[in-house]
Amino acid sequence: MTDGGVITAEGDEDDGLDQLLASMADIARDIARTPGGEETLASVTQACVDLIPGVVAASILSIEGPETYGSVAPTSELPKRLDELQQKFQEGPCWDAATADPATRVPDMRAETRWPHFAPAAVTEGVLSMLSFRLFTFDRRVAALNLFADTVDAFAGDAETVGGMLATHAATALIANDRQLQFRSALASRDIIGQAKGMLMERFDVDAVRAFELLAKLSSERNTPLVGIAEMVVEKGSASRRRR
């Protein structure tokens, strides 16, 4: 029996555990069916609200660079506003969890001194405590699962354990999505290079090896990635054909 997590009373212990296990199984099936999809991530954030007492909203903060920063699968407009504030001030628990700390806990935002600009703004939005988990993802993206509460000391007992389990599901989904995108990008690059080779072979009456060497030579001379040179060749070749 615990007093702050999914299991709240001795009589409810089995029901609470069954609900938790069922939710975890559903999320795992979602990842298998549609890895990294918005639907899967939304099921994770919604599970945070459903399974962890005190959570009024949840989201996943994703940062891929200065211009690619935002809330993924937010359960309401509140996480979006909080993430926008953290981007504006470049500080906050979600920011710290995504970029530095494995987990960041805020018992009372009114007494918080770590983020002098963000904390008062969060209180104004009605958020008095927060819990954020870093999501270890693939490639350059960093992310965090973030839980928001409108009461002080909302996250006690099982909250960190359940939140950590859900964070693992979210990270798995994001990694699967990143790998899918990378695979699709590789296929697209191979396709555009193939098109460019075909155009050069036709234009200069050379074989595939020689056409590739021409692309590689241009890439080196212009200090431009091979796929970028291929895109230029295809674009110019297509424009020339349209003029004919």
Per-residue pLDDT at 120: 97
Q: What is the CATH number of the domain that holds 130?
A: 3.30.450.40
Q: Where in the sequence is the domain holding 102, given as residue range(s)?
A: 10-173
In terms of DSSP bridges, do strands 129-135 and 103-106 run parallel, antiparallel, or are they unpaired?
antiparallel
Residue 142 sits in the same domain as residue 30: yes
Q: What is the CATH number of the domain that holds 235?
A: 1.10.10.10
Interval 133-154 mean pLDDT? 84
Per-residue pLDDT at 124: 97
What six digits make up the tokens of 7? 């299991």
Residue 79 sits in the same domain as residue 123: yes
Per-residue pLDDT at 94: 86
Out of 126, 146, 173, a domain closes at 173
Mean pLDDT over the full length of the chain: 78
| Domain count within the chain | 2
Query: Dihedral of CA 120/73/58/167: which sign?
Result: negative
Per-residue pLDDT at 217: 79
CB atoms closer than 10 angstroms to residue 26: 14
Per-residue pLDDT at 146: 93
Residue 117 sits in the same domain as residue 66: yes
Q: Looking at the domain assignment, is residue 1 inside a domain?
A: no
Residues 92-122 have pLDDT tens digits of 998 888 877 788 999 999 999 999 999 999 9
Per-residue pLDDT at 221: 79
**Residue 23: band (very low, low, confident or very high) from pLDDT cuts 50, 70, 90:** low
Residue 191 sits in the same domain as residue 102: no
Q: Would the pLDDT of 12 be above 50?
A: yes
Per-residue pLDDT at 117: 96
Percent of the chain with pLDDT over 90: 25
Residue 24: CA count within 13 A, CB half-sphere? 14
Out of 173, 205, 229, a domain closes at 173
DSSP letters along 60-109, please?
A: EEEEEETTEEEEES-SSHHHHHHHHHHHHHT-SHHHHHHHT-SEEEES-G
Residues 117-137: b if buried by 16+ CB within 10 A, e if exposed: ebbebbeeeebbbbbbbbbeb
Q: Would the pLDDT of 74 be above 70?
A: yes
Threshold 0.75, pTM exceeds: no
Rounded distance, CA 4 to CA 105, Å? 15
* Cβ–Cβ under 8 Å, residues 4 and 105: no
Residues 144-202 have pLDDT tens digits of 899 999 999 998 777 888 888 888 878 877 776 555 544 454 556 677 778 888 888 88
**Residue 231: band (very low, low, confident or very high) from pLDDT cuts 50, 70, 90:** confident
